[in-house]
Structure 1
């Protein structure tokens, strides 16, 4: 046996916390480690999470334990048990050391279960405030803007709500930016008029994009906001950390105007690349404008002059440990951790918090007359203000002046905010609310390019949201942005690639399969979902594959591994899987001896469609609602925990449904809630169809011959399935096409939703013109 006694001599100490390993013994041989831990009065252990299960046994003292934002009192004789990945720390609130022993061990099954738990880290137990970084109201939103924080936050909140979380999307317009002043000068408006105009335009564009915002604050038009901001600023100055300090600054050489942010640019003092005032978009490090290399004034070709000025200033270098501690609480990308380490190596980092300007909110303090509170500090407070305002709207006790440890905050932002959001803002919170440890996750996207160069309003190099968004296109745009948005690397939007994707994948793949499935349900099961019959191994394997997609999508949209790129790939993967499955099962679909197995195939395809509708709801809510309705169900509101069959007998209305409009037809396509032309409408004009395909008369006759239809039977506007073609006849047709015109057409295409006219055009596209001409002459 081994006996371990806590010793005060020679422990490993860190910030008032002593760690003494227990000597290896029988516990270690059983896979259990043990450590003595002593926390000094007033000290706090480092918040952390790990894959081991852990138990703390408290033997002396008293304190407060925080686990995933929840606080619990502990004292001698308390025992706390932690599941893998729970974030935990303890604060000694007493006058004597808080002593406990930690026992920890690995349990792989338990760890995997915890990692897959959609409610871990307190999600689902506490209010969840999701922020898309507030836009500057100096212009409307283009696709580059929409692809990033707004869209990401919207999908995140929709998914969390389907999981049952108390989740809210909050944003607004960052009205007091000096970029608004520049736009006002350019457009001949006042800053207030400019902010009000573009704030309204931004909100309207978000609505067109189907982005739900539960609280939108336009800071310059909220009567209560200026006083609340001043009170927050006074909290900072009362701490003594934020104080008036003299420092270098830049001024326009000719007018003497103070220069910062949009008023100045130059070369970054860190990486040497071109940089704007206050932050470099290349290396993401902040600057204070006066340290720019070869600074340039936005309003003059004459280089600015350097001077000195007194401003309220934050010595951020004094808070590097607080920032590091903050980064251990939530989800922080590795690139931010590395940026924080770079900044921590600076000897000093003094950030001015007020600037000489007329547009903005002046502090209550009179030490710096003529100055206003910097917009980034303004934005830091607007986050708390938005939570408080939402609380007032909902009758909840959320108070901007008393932030709660129970709050979970999630930020969606662009990479150019990698300093401000995860470093500057938490430092301000530490000063204003020293007892609050904000638990914040950060989701960061890079720049989205247009045709491989940056979106630019000044160069007219942009695609504006209002120009392309309407009820017919919004699903396609949302899905394509999900697939291509810049997660972890810069990506590009190419209009031709987008149009091709919609035409070939969403219309030619998704919609084609759904229409074909509807046709087969109508023909074989009178328009109602069949009950599954006999299951073959292939059926069980396909069900398992669908479950794999469901599980992977849960992770791709979840709080830890959120990735719209991955989610879009998985949604498309469902369709690719089911189309392959249907193609492989098609040859036996009409074989009498296998009719019970064929029923199972159809039932599983309908289950895949149901899964697609439910899992697509956060990304494409309109498509999800329409597909669910076509499958006889309500709009999806709960995230699926399994793959479920459509109940037998449910009316299925997939045949002919238009879910996506091709880009070239979007202006003339009816709303996707309507149905396309079906076989019950008047037949298309044969002469018009012949213009589409020279092979149509020949191909139409071939179809009539195989199906033994009258020579004058109308076939051009009908699919082969609706004409009565079965799998064996389709194989015969496939053979005839290969033999007579050397065309390779899949059974999936022949028995899909294409009309005879559409199939004729499809066949003709791959043929030698001489072959087309020969058959057109023979059969014309």
Structure 2
């Protein structure tokens, strides 16, 4: 027998708690460990998770236990058991020590089941806000941009929704960036005009990429935004931590302009590599511009002069422990933690949060005049603002100034945001909302290169999204980007390699197998799915292989192990498995005595096709919907828990489907086919009579791209609302029309009863006839 008594004198610090390990004797031999735990009044243990199953028995005191962001009161006689990997901490809210007994042991089977659970960390029971880094509206999006946060967030949300999660993709244009001013100066227009133009272009390009955004905030066009941002800033100054501070600053030697961000370059003091103002893209450390070596102004050739400036400043070093605690709550990649540790070695890390500029939102505070709130602080608030906007549309009570503990936030970002997202932003939240403990996951990607060199607009080394994306190419682009995007290392896009992959793999292997399967079903079973017959050991082994692939792609798209690289590899592996299986089964296909076995083999191939359609849905939604329809089903809406056979007797239409287009082929010009000027009629319909409006082919193409409709979808005699257009899409379309032909179409017309043909006529009537003729010539 062993007896252990609680002794405060034997306690040692662990996970922010005072603990002492018990000698449990026989219990230890059975695999159970135990500790006494004590938490002082007002203290909180560190949030942590582990693979053991753990049971707490509260002996004395009271407090609040938080498990995966959900609070629970505890008191003497409360018994709690934690599943593996549940993030938990406890706060002593009483006036005496909170004492508990902890018993923990390893159950590897239970841990494995918990790790594979798609609802792990309460993803399926609380609102899930997924943010892709707000793009700077100083240019359109190229493939490097599209491969990163926007695409990752889109696939993540689609997968979570298929698992029943209340998930939303939120982004917007980061209008008040200093880089917008630089672009405006370069292009000869105002920052407001520049931001409005590129914000609309960005939204349109996201649409071409089939990236669903549920809230797109255009900060400079939201009337309520400036005042709400000022209120957030006032919360920071009210904390007493963010305050005016005079420090060195750089100024252009010719114009005297204050320099920061895009206005200055130099060599990073930390790594020695070339760096822009305020952050180094190589080592990812922040700078305050004056610490750059050999700084250079981007607006004149003279070396900048150093002066001083009084700016509102955040002493980030004072919040180092809060940042570390924040990183214990969610998914934080190791490079981010290493960067945080590196920065924690600095004795001081004072980050200016206002800058001398005219483009931006000025604080309500008047202690420092002529400055605007820094765009990265602006961005931190825009996240909360976006959540409130989503809530308003849904009739939910989510408020930017009252963030809720139950919110789960997920950031998708490029590596150059590794300081701002997981360190700067949560520090601001700690000051503005001290009673809120934000639970945030982070997913990062590195730079995507073009032919092994960084995308560069100035050197014309770039592939713009609009130049390569169309309804015919979007699935192939999405899949290839998923396969090659830079996760954990820089990768490169090579157009020849992409086109070769589409032809050899997506068309040659995927489409070749699906078309061939359709041919066999038509010839042998009259175009309907056969019922499985006799099963051989090989059949059972293949079914098990499909289950393994399902498990692998589930893990690759799940919240903990999210990786589009692995998901794409697994989807292709699924096709490689089934084509190999088909070849092995082919010799017996026409053997009469094996007819029942052949039926099983075909049923299993159809099961693989059905599984492919469902599992590909987050990555390639158009392909998934078309394949599901060819198998007699609706677009995939739920994530599968197992491999299912296609019901016997289902009509199968695979033989002549074109799932992927050759990237070298040009799409047929929509609405421009008949030389008589008539719009081509869809099969089974009557062509309209009379001359088509001259801009109809161009506008029809633009509408199809905006709504992601098939190339052959008739749109002439249908209104945009009937086609499914919503307000955000209409805004993007309005800007594209203005940009391309200079016409200003009122929103009430775009979202009214006018058909596409009516709108084409309306636009042409508002234009110079010579411009109309020129545009018509370009289209036809």
TM-score interval (norm. to shorter): 0.7 to 0.9
Q: Please state how far the C-alpha of 1:398 moved relative to its aligned partner.
A: 1.0
Q: List structure 1 segments (4+ residues) > 2 angstroms apart after TM superposition.
A: 13-17, 666-671
Matches within 5 A, 1:410-429: 410-429=410-429
Correspondence for 2:534? 534
SS at match of 2:148: helix
SS at match of 2:506: helix
Does structure 1 residue 450 correspond to structure 2 residue 458?
no
CA contact (8 A) 1:199 1:218 kept: yes
SS at match of 2:8: coil
Correspondence for 1:378? 378
Q: Please state how far the C-alpha of 1:389 moved relative to its aligned partner.
A: 1.0
SS at match of 1:299: coil
Does structure 1 residue 623 correspond to structure 2 residue 629?
no
The C-alpha deviation readout for 1:691-750, integer Å capped at 9, x for no partner, is xxxxxxxxxxxxxxxxxxxxxxxxxxxxxxxxxxxxxxxxxxxxxxxxxxxxxxxxxxxx
Correspondence for 1:698? none
CA contact (8 A) 1:405 1:436 kept: yes
The C-alpha deviation readout for 1:650-672, integer Å capped at 9, x for no partner, is 0000011100000111434999x
Correspondence for 2:509? 509
Cα distance in 1, alignment partners of residues 302 and 287 from structure 2 = 21
Does structure 1 residue 521 correspond to structure 2 residue 527?
no
Q: 1:525 to 1:340 in 2, by over 3 A?
A: same
Correspondence for 2:610? 610
Correspondence for 1:729? none
Cα distance in 2, alignment partners of residues 52 and 563 from structure 1 = 26
Correspondence for 1:230? 230
Q: Please state how far the C-alpha of 1:14 moved relative to its aligned partner.
A: 5.9
Correspondence for 1:116? 116
Correspondence for 2:150? 150
Correspondence for 1:317? 317
CA contact (8 A) 2:16 2:46 kept: no
**What TM-score, normalized by structure 2, do the two folds share?**
0.85
The C-alpha deviation readout for 1:50-101, integer Å capped at 9, x for no partner, is 0000011111111111101111111111111100000000111112111111
SS at match of 1:560: coil
Q: Please state how far the C-alpha of 1:12 moved relative to its aligned partner.
A: 1.1
Does structure 1 residue 471 correspond to structure 2 residue 474?
no
Q: 1:475 to 1:336 in 2, by over 3 A?
A: same
CA contact (8 A) 1:473 1:666 kept: no
CA contact (8 A) 1:387 1:400 kept: yes
Correspondence for 1:344? 344
Correspondence for 2:330? 330
Matches within 5 A, 1:19-418: 19-418=19-418
SS at match of 2:100: strand
Q: Please state how far the C-alpha of 1:10 moved relative to its aligned partner.
A: 3.9
Q: Please state how far the C-alpha of 1:457 moved relative to its aligned partner.
A: 1.0
Correspondence for 1:484? 484
The C-alpha deviation readout for 1:2-55, integer Å capped at 9, x for no partner, is 222211114213686311211242221111111111111111100000000001
Cα distance in 1, alignment partners of residues 316 and 26 from structure 2 = 48
Q: Which structure 2 segments of 5+ residues have no match?
A: 672-780
Q: 1:670 to 1:628 in 2, by over 3 A?
A: farther
Cα distance in 2, alignment partners of residues 508 and 187 from structure 1 = 45
Cα distance in 2, alignment partners of residues 41 and 305 from structure 1 = 53
The C-alpha deviation readout for 1:383-436, integer Å capped at 9, x for no partner, is 011011111111111111111111110000000000000000011111111111
Cα distance in 2, alignment partners of residues 16 and 551 from structure 1 = 37
CA contact (8 A) 1:132 1:149 kept: yes
Matches within 5 A, 1:549-568: 549-568=549-568
Q: Please state how far the C-alpha of 1:572 moved relative to its aligned partner.
A: 0.5
SS at match of 1:540: helix
Larger radius of gyration: 1
Cα distance in 2, alignment partners of residues 216 and 53 from structure 1 = 42
The C-alpha deviation readout for 1:563-622, integer Å capped at 9, x for no partner, is 000000000011111101001110110010111101111000000000000000000000
Cα distance in 2, alignment partners of residues 189 and 366 from structure 1 = 30
CA contact (8 A) 2:15 2:48 kept: no
Correspondence for 2:548? 548
Cα distance in 1, alignment partners of residues 340 and 192 from structure 2 = 36
Q: 1:75 to 1:292 in 2, by over 3 A?
A: same
CA contact (8 A) 1:388 1:399 kept: yes
Correspondence for 1:656? 656
CA contact (8 A) 1:61 1:75 kept: yes
Correspondence for 1:732? none
CA contact (8 A) 1:502 1:662 kept: yes
CA contact (8 A) 1:266 1:295 kept: yes
Q: Please state how far the C-alpha of 1:192 moved relative to its aligned partner.
A: 0.6
Correspondence for 1:636? 636
Cα distance in 1, alignment partners of residues 495 and 634 from structure 2 = 34
Cα distance in 1, alignment partners of residues 580 and 304 from structure 2 = 65
Cα distance in 1, alignment partners of residues 334 and 17 from structure 2 = 26
SS at match of 2:84: coil
Cα distance in 1, alignment partners of residues 110 and 234 from structure 2 = 48
CA contact (8 A) 1:625 1:636 kept: yes
Cα distance in 2, alignment partners of residues 546 and 264 from structure 1 = 55
Shifted more, 658-667 versus 211-220: the winner is: 658-667
The C-alpha deviation readout for 1:474-506, integer Å capped at 9, x for no partner, is 000000000000000000000000000000000
Cα distance in 1, alignment partners of residues 366 and 17 from structure 2 = 42
SS at match of 2:34: strand
CA contact (8 A) 2:409 2:439 kept: yes
Cα distance in 1, alignment partners of residues 95 and 17 from structure 2 = 15
Q: Which structure 1 segments of 5+ residues have no match?
A: 672-780
CA contact (8 A) 1:64 1:93 kept: yes
SS at match of 1:285: coil
Matches within 5 A, 1:671-686: none
Residue-pair matches, total: 671
Correspondence for 1:585? 585
